[in-house]
Structure 1
Amino acid sequence: MRQLQLIAHGEPSEVIELNTVSEPALGQEDVLISMEAAPMNPSDFLFVRGMYGIRPAFPSSVGAEGVGRVAKIGSKVDVALRGKRVLILPTYEQGTWADEVVAPVRNLVPMSDETDPLQLSMIGINPATAYLLLNRYVSLMPGDWIGQTAANAAMGQYIIALAKLAGVKTLNVVRREEAAEQVRRWGGDRVVLQGDNLHKDVEEALDGKKLSLVLDAVGGPPVGELAKSLKPGGSIVVYALQSGQFPAISPGDLIYRGLSLHGFWLINWIRNAPRTEIEEIYQKLGDLVADGSLSAAVEHVYPLAQFKEAFRQSLKSNRSGKILFQFGATDQTDRG
């Protein structure tokens, strides 16, 4: 079996190798999965660079999420799972950038055989994070407003889609006009360009409304400007720090207006949530993908052998969609 292996921390194209490894013996509760698709995420590259919340031993398999079909099962695994499509939970206990993956059955959730595997492969991290961000911190009602930074990222697209399904309005901050157009096409209700007058522009866009929730992936000043438009008692949730800067939020806003600041990491939820809750949420997201309510733009898919080109594309800041590995693919494919 072929898998990408991380041999040290550093730049992805320099520290990841494509190696052929022998198929490991299955434990009693393990499953061998023949992979169909696996995306690349910013968190994967943080992991590769040694900047993530998990530090591997080398060599390490790599890639957090993906889907495939069960090819072999351990002696204590339900035989009904054989041949089924499964989602691999993004626990980093196994690497998905491989044509075959061995995983414990506890890290798998069955998925529909009929749904596009490319779209299903992407629900492990971003849609699950978006769903939990919208449901855990504030009791949002139809007509409420939320704000988000980095709204043109795949996470932003999922947040907009899930908010729209709940009747919640989105105020979206981006850095470029072409990104603003993209967010409008996705259904973002208001889009504001990040600049020197961000608070004023946000207030004008909201036209007297107040935000109930702010979701931040950037850190630094923008989230603090959004926080000024929160209702008293509103929440800010930080789920990534693209700038590397702590969110610049006024202590006075936290104290006098009763705002709350939270950090969210999906792996903590996977570790601590009841298994029934995990299955229920992922199957709900799978159903939304199946009926077309939930999707992310895909720019290119690559076979595993073209991993260096795939990394180059994925690390570009001005992509039009996600980059994925598609297993069994022999040629670069444009899905734009």
Structure 2
Amino acid sequence: MQRAAVRVLRGARSPPVRPCPVRLCPVRPCPVRLCPVRPCPVRTPPVRERSAVAGSPPLGLLYERHGEPAAVVQLKDLEVPKLGDSDVHVKMLAAPINPADINMIQGTYPILSPLPAVGGNEGVGEVLEVGPRVMALKPGDWVIPADAGLGDSVIQNAANSGVGQAVIQIARASGIKTINVVRDRPDLPKLVERLMALGADYIVTEEMLRKPEMKDIFKSIPRPRLALNCVGGKSTTDMLRHLQPKGTMVTYGGMAKQPVTVPVSAFIFRDVRLRGFWMTQWRKQHAQDQESVAGMMDTLCQLIRRGQLTAPACTQVPLQEYRAALDASMKPFISSKQILVL
């Protein structure tokens, strides 16, 4: 059960959940911060909860201390909170395991939930009951948590991630070329085939970033004005070298757990810009700018409805097998998002 603000997916009922690679949907202001949208498959987030059904207690993946997820996360019965006048009881249907969720359980994320805590921040749920003052929702609605110009080309690392796959598709729909960096791996040809099917223009390994052959790419497309980094370390330094002068690198993750190192010459002679992006802070800054957020989300959901933005590769795992899902989400070379199905 969640008492937090949610957004409703109108018309969505009981078909199988197929999470999509965006975290939010179109919004419209309403008294309880619940926003109607037209049906679209929405990227599910990991709030591991299940509402009481026929008297059964809800289940949650609870951790009472920080540590390695497989060691500290336990599947437990949770107490159902009393329904207030403006509250909504939600049965969670599915939720992915994201890197940030792992870091929060480990205790290494910048923001940590008070302990004990239920793991996860995203999800798709079904409304079971609403308080008497809730007008924007009704039982049976599907919901997600409310807190859920690029130039001619973009370069990004971790291109096989959920974010990376979304970037490929959004850029393709916008007429922007993508240069996609992945780690070398045994199944590289299969990965290349999958990303090309999504609309990737160029796929290179981290080793290829350092080779002279990279210049051949820029005979066909301009150098990117934007680099998206969620890895850090040498991969980031090598990717930065291919930016246009005055280009911008946005760092939104650090999966390699290594610092971003920038040559002095990149600042002096090419005037590159380094920025950071943190979804939590972005939401706070845009909390009062619902019109702009609604416009952006409308655009994304239009892409989804037209089939131009689809879900990343997902593996659906029953909630009771959460340990296997946690282990799989932390393995190298995994391109499939682990989705806990409740």
TM range (shorter): 0.7 to 0.9
Structure 1 runs not aligned, ≥5 long? 92-123, 125-138, 328-336
- The 1:232–1:199 alpha-carbon spacing in structure 2 relative to 1, beyond 3 Å, is farther
Q: Distance in 1 between matches of 2:118 and 2:129?
A: 20
Q: Aligned residue for 1:130?
A: none
The 8 Å contact of residues 299 and 319 in structure 1, kept in 2 or not, is answered as no
C-alpha distance after superposition, 1:196-249 (max 9, x if no partner): 762534323222731111101111122222222211111000000011112121
Q: Distance in 2 between matches of 1:196 and 1:171?
A: 12
- The 1:234–1:191 alpha-carbon spacing in structure 2 relative to 1, beyond 3 Å, is same
Residue in structure 1 matching 2:150, options 106, 118, 140: 140
The 8 Å contact of residues 160 and 335 in structure 2, kept in 1 or not, is answered as no
Identity %: 30
Match of 1:237, SS state, is strand
Q: Distance in 2 between matches of 1:282 and 1:26?
A: 30
Answering whether residue 219 of structure 2 is matched by residue 207 of structure 1, we say yes
Q: Aligned residue for 2:309?
A: 294
- The 1:148–1:21 alpha-carbon spacing in structure 2 relative to 1, beyond 3 Å, is same
Answering whether residue 203 of structure 2 is matched by residue 191 of structure 1, we say yes
Q: Aligned residue for 1:180?
A: 192
Match of 2:178, SS state, is strand
Q: Distance in 1 between matches of 2:100 and 2:199?
A: 26
- Bigger relative contact order (CA 8 A; separation at least 6): 2
Q: Aligned residue for 2:106?
A: 49
The 8 Å contact of residues 154 and 224 in structure 2, kept in 1 or not, is answered as yes
Q: Distance in 1 between matches of 2:254 and 2:214?
A: 21
Answering whether residue 333 of structure 2 is matched by residue 318 of structure 1, we say yes
Q: Distance in 2 between matches of 1:213 and 1:324?
A: 30
Match of 2:112, SS state, is coil
The 8 Å contact of residues 296 and 321 in structure 1, kept in 2 or not, is answered as no
Match of 2:83, SS state, is coil
- Give the superposition deviation at 1:264: 0.3
Q: Distance in 2 between matches of 1:161 and 1:58?
A: 38
Q: Aligned residue for 2:55?
A: none
The 8 Å contact of residues 145 and 210 in structure 1, kept in 2 or not, is answered as yes
- The 1:251–1:75 alpha-carbon spacing in structure 2 relative to 1, beyond 3 Å, is farther
Q: Aligned residue for 1:156?
A: 164
Q: Aligned residue for 1:243?
A: 256
Match of 1:63, SS state, is coil
Q: Distance in 1 between matches of 2:294 and 2:108?
A: 29
Q: Aligned residue for 1:268?
A: 281
Residue in structure 2 matching 1:61, options 104, 111, 118: 118
Q: Aligned residue for 2:3?
A: none
The 8 Å contact of residues 270 and 278 in structure 1, kept in 2 or not, is answered as no
Answering whether residue 86 of structure 2 is matched by residue 29 of structure 1, we say yes
The 8 Å contact of residues 6 and 61 in structure 1, kept in 2 or not, is answered as yes
- Give the superposition deviation at 1:39: 0.9
Q: Distance in 2 between matches of 1:211 and 1:46?
A: 31
Q: Which amino acid aligns with 2:245?
A: P
Q: Which amino acid aligns with 2:101?
A: D
Q: Distance in 2 between matches of 1:197 and 1:84?
A: 47
- Give the superposition deviation at 1:192: 1.3
Residue in structure 1 matching 2:73, options 13, 16, 23: 16
Q: Distance in 2 between matches of 1:199 and 1:293?
A: 33
Q: Which amino acid aligns with 1:158?
A: A
Q: Which amino acid aligns with 1:67?
A: V
Match of 1:312, SS state, is helix
TM-score normalised by length of structure 1: 0.76
Residue in structure 2 matching 1:165, options 141, 160, 173: 173
Structure 2 runs not aligned, ≥5 long? 1-57
Match of 1:297, SS state, is coil
Answering whether residue 233 of structure 2 is matched by residue 229 of structure 1, we say no
The 8 Å contact of residues 174 and 180 in structure 1, kept in 2 or not, is answered as no
- The 1:200–1:222 alpha-carbon spacing in structure 2 relative to 1, beyond 3 Å, is farther
Matched residues, number: 278
Q: Which amino acid aligns with 1:34?
A: K
Q: Which amino acid aligns with 1:78?
A: M
Q: Distance in 2 between matches of 1:271 and 1:253?
A: 32
Q: Aligned residue for 1:115?
A: none
Q: Distance in 1 between matches of 2:247 and 2:224?
A: 7
Q: Distance in 2 between matches of 1:43 and 1:258?
A: 31
Q: Aligned residue for 2:45?
A: none
Q: Distance in 2 between matches of 1:233 and 1:279?
A: 30
Match of 1:294, SS state, is coil
